[in-house]
DNA sequence: CGCGAGCTTGATGCCGATCAATGCATGTGG
DNA sequence: CCACATGCATTGATCGGCATCAAGCTCGCG
């Protein structure tokens, strides 16, 4: 589908429904009953397509909705005044985007599609209203926010105390785990992001990321063909992450 | 009343009440009316004292309550299996502890008092119930979680792309801002944490933190006497943080 | 007073940044 | 179909910032 055709279909003609979505075990509706799902369906009325390279939202944009990734892949990144940029996360199907905007009513980071993607938009104030009626939904929403905080703790640990190869190993293990949870192979994957984006996320330069990939390949831990990665020895990646520094 | 509540009241005979707390403009009750505050007062029935060096909770503990710091100072830290530790934050009066535990029903980090401290415990399930009745409280609670996410984005930027002196400058500016919001001097402060804890938070070794302090002192930006810091030229700290890398 | 925890300061070395060149895949126009 | 441009990745050489190792120093406290 061309970019312009995708734009024309910005409001999808198909009925968007959590109740019939194959991501409902990963997304916001986890653990909700049929009647509850119907209520959520009313809320999630809008599906949006985001072509590769385009932002779903930008820092400074007024915050209105949370977004659940339906298909595709995103990165979120923050920037300081002087232009330094930091990728703060990568999001795949079933994951939620936009939590950063709740605090200030404006988004504080950019969310950019790394491939042609679709999201479900959930107007936040309506979602808040609904969570007051549906305790299960409220509970789950709070868990999603809390887990994001815990995930970021993990990234801080990585950035604060791991060496380059350990960081990349942790990153790859995290990716494969999330892919496996979505029914994909845990051993072969195609990276959606560049070496530079991986580096930004891991606090490394792209050359260092590239060297680490090559090292892993030389050691027989991975097979690397540009962005196509095959994990040959996952347990050695695991070792690397759990290893003491020096 | 539970045994533990009775114990706490023996230590602390005063009625704990958000409505009469001088932190109500910084803490959970921000922007709430008198009637709403009364409801919150019912919830926050328990005050707990935590002596310096003692944990308020530990990773693995069952999650039951959020805690608002009333007096004192805390650090939170996560550890990986191999013993690496990362300080993920420092919390002062009016700030909330325990958000990490919501996702898994267990705490995922340690919260340790850096000086003799007091916290208000808020049983989380009761808080959730109350937020369903008080939209203002719900809104504010969501903002607190979101701001924690945004704060961590900032730390990721710091850890991923700043050099040692920039990190320390950013840290000091953040501390002084928060102290000023509490009515303290923005120029003179006493650090509650060791060089090692600062280093852990900033992804540096304690020697590097110490050298950066000395450098700032030599440059006339700070006066450093062990943990007593005087900021002589805040604008130069600000410069440092906003500066491009090389 | 002497001990110990925490802090400072110096010397050295290493990891990853930087600079630079080359390789490789994709796309575009002649 | 080839020539060429472009974006991304790899690889090598060099450099620099921070970690590491190792003494001293300061201050509070029993």
pLDDT at A6 over 50: no
- Measured from the CB, is A226 under 7 Å from any atom of strand C? yes
Share of chain B above pLDDT 70, in %: 91
pLDDT at B15 over 70: no
Spatial contact of B68 and B93, defined as CB atoms under 8 Å apart: no
DSSP A239: H
Are the beta carbons of A244 and B131 separated by less than 8 Å?
no
Are the beta carbons of B161 and A86 separated by less than 8 Å?
yes
| Helix ranges restricted to H, B117-193 | 124-133, 135-161, 164-181
Are the beta carbons of A142 and B128 separated by less than 8 Å?
yes
Band the pLDDT of A127: cuts 50, 70, 90: very high
Spatial contact of B223 and B229, defined as CB atoms under 8 Å apart: yes
| Helix ranges restricted to H, B12-52 | 34-43
SS3 state of residue A125: helix
A244: closest chain B residue by CA: B82
pLDDT at A17: 85
- Measured from the CB, is B30 under 7 Å from any atom of strand D? no
pLDDT at A2 over 70: no
- Measured from the CB, is B39 under 7 Å from any atom of strand D? no
- Measured from the CB, is A227 under 7 Å from any atom of strand D? yes
Question: What CATH number was assigned to the domain covering residues B3-138?
Answer: 2.60.120.10
pLDDT at B7 over 60: no
DSSP B106: B
Q: Which residue has the higher pLDDT, B44 or B135?
A: B135
Backbone phi, then psi, for A185, in 5-degree steps? -60, 140
The pairing of strands B110-113 and B96-97 is unpaired
A167: closest chain B residue by CA: B160
Q: Estimate to the nearest angstrom the gap between the alpha carbon of A169 and the chain centroid.
A: 18
A43 CA to C22 C1' in angstroms comes to 54
B155 CA to C29 C1' in angstroms comes to 48
pLDDT at B146 over 90: yes
CB-nearest partner of B82 from A100, A103, A244:
A244
Q: Estimate to the nearest angstrom the gap between the alpha carbon of A52 and the chain centroid.
A: 15
Q: Which of A112, A101, A95, A98 is nearest to A51 (CA)?
A: A112
Give residue for tokens 């990153």: A171
Residue ranges of chain A assigned to CATH 2.60.120.10: 3-138
- Measured from the CB, is A2 under 7 Å from any atom of strand C? no
Share of chain A above pLDDT 70, in %: 91
List CB contacts of A175: < 8 A, sequence separation 6 or more. Answer: A90, A189
Q: Which residue has the higher pLDDT, A109 or B6?
A: A109
pLDDT in tens, A94-116: 999 999 999 999 999 999 999 99
Residue ranges of chain A assigned to CATH 1.10.10.10: 157-245
Helix or strand holding residue A161 (H, E):
helix A135-161
pLDDT at A243: 58
Contacts of B162 in chain A (CB under 8 A): 84
Band the pLDDT of A14: cuts 50, 70, 90: low
Mean pLDDT, range A30-54, rounded to an integer: 90
Mean pLDDT, range A59-83, rounded to an integer: 95
Spatial contact of B213 and B206, defined as CB atoms under 8 Å apart: no
A144: closest chain B residue by CA: B103
Spatial contact of B116 and A123, defined as CB atoms under 8 Å apart: no
Spatial contact of A193 and A175, defined as CB atoms under 8 Å apart: no
Q: Any idea which fold B157-245 has?
A: Arc Repressor Mutant, subunit A (1.10.10)
Are the beta carbons of A128 and B138 separated by less than 8 Å?
yes
CA atoms within 13 A on the CB side of A49: 16
Taking the CA of residue A124 and the nearest CA in chain B, the distance in Å comes to 11
DSSP A206: H
């Amino acid at each position: 589908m061309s970019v312009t055709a995708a734009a024309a279909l910005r409001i999808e003609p198909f009925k968007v429904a959590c109740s019939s979505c194959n991501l409902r075990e990963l997304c916001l509706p986890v653990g909700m009953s049929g009647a509850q799902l119907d209520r959520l369906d009313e809320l999630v009325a809008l599906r949006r397509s985001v072509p590769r390279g385009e932002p779903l939202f930008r820092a400074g944009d007024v915050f209105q909705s949370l977004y659940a990734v339906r298909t595709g892949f995103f990165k979120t990144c923050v920037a300081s005044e002087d232009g330094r940029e930091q990728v703060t996360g990568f999001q795949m199907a079933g994951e939620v985007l936009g939590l950063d905007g709740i605090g200030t009513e404006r988004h504080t980071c950019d969310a950019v599609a790394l491939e042609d993607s679709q999201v479900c938009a959930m107007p936040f104030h309506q979602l808040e209203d609904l969570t007051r009626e549906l305790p299960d939904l409220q509970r789950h929403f709070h868990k999603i926010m809390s887990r994001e905080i815990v995930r970021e703790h993990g990234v801080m640990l990585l950035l604060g105390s791991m060496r380059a190869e350990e960081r990349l190993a942790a990153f790859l293990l995290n990716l494969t785990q999330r892919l496996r949870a979505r029914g994909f192979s845990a051993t072969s994957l195609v990276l959606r992001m560049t070496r530079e984006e991986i580096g930004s996320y891991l606090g490394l330069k792209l050359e260092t990321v590239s060297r680490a990939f090559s090292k892993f390949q030389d050691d027989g831990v991975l097979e690397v063909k540009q962005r196509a990665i095959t994990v040959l020895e996952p347990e050695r990646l695991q070792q690397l992450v759990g290893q003491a520094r020096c």
